[in-house]
Amino acid sequence: MALGKDYAAQECSIARALEVVGERWTLLVVRDALYGVRRYNDFLVHLGIPRAVLASRLQTLVAAGVLEKRPCAQAPSRHEYVVTERGRALWPTLRALGSWGRDNFPESKPLRYFRHADCGTELGVVGDCSACGILVPVEDVEMVPGPGLDPDPADPVSRALLAPRRLLTAVEVDPV
């Protein structure tokens, strides 16, 4: 029996979600958007993703309401991709998946830490703050480089992401 190309026959909310975010690269595009990457070329250089694949994933995410395509303020003839409320709702899932990967595949040092910006406490598995007793909204999450990150990365997006920063804050890329 041939493997289907979609989950249309599945009556399951996970299957419906996978229709939007289940293809290779898609969750990494969403992750980068949450990190503040907004421009097509910045996604391209940071992810090392083929152009056609990136264009397809961005189109799918915009159509699903996860990202919004807007004219770029710096270059009005270009566009940027901004995370919507629907996209922000993916943060606890991505946080949990990242924690699972870190706990189950600990071959390297941690790449990033995520903290509650208000109190500095490292977040729990789904983005909860044990000190404040709340699920921290994505805009109140601070991303801090960990010891596993390359201190001198080749691409300008990775260099920009070396500084501690709040999620959703637009990445400002220094020209090479």
Q: Which residue would you say has higher pLDDT here, 30 or 78?
A: 30
Backbone dihedral angles phi then psi of residue 117, each to the nearest 5 degrees: -60, -30
Q: How confident is the model at residue 1 (pLDDT cuts 50, 70, 90)?
A: very low
User: The tokens of 161 are what?
Assistant: 């992401």
Q: How far is CA 164 from CA 31, 35, 48, 89, 146, in A?
A: 16, 11, 23, 22, 10
Give the strand pairing for 67-71 and 79-83.
antiparallel
How far is residue 18 CA from its own chain's centroid?
Answer: 16
Interacting residues of 176 by C-beta distance below 8 A, sequence separation 6+: 156
Q: Which residue would you say has higher pLDDT here, 87 or 174?
A: 87
Q: How far is CA 148 from CA 80, 102, 110, 137, 153, in A?
A: 29, 11, 5, 26, 12
Q: What is the pLDDT of residues 48-93, one digit of tens each?
A: 999 999 999 999 999 999 999 999 877 778 899 999 999 999 999 9
Backbone dihedral angles phi then psi of residue 122, each to the nearest 5 degrees: -65, 140
Q: How confident is the model at residue 4 (pLDDT cuts 50, 70, 90)?
A: low
**pLDDT at residue 10, as a whole number:** 78
Average pLDDT, the chain: 91
pLDDT at 3 over 50: no
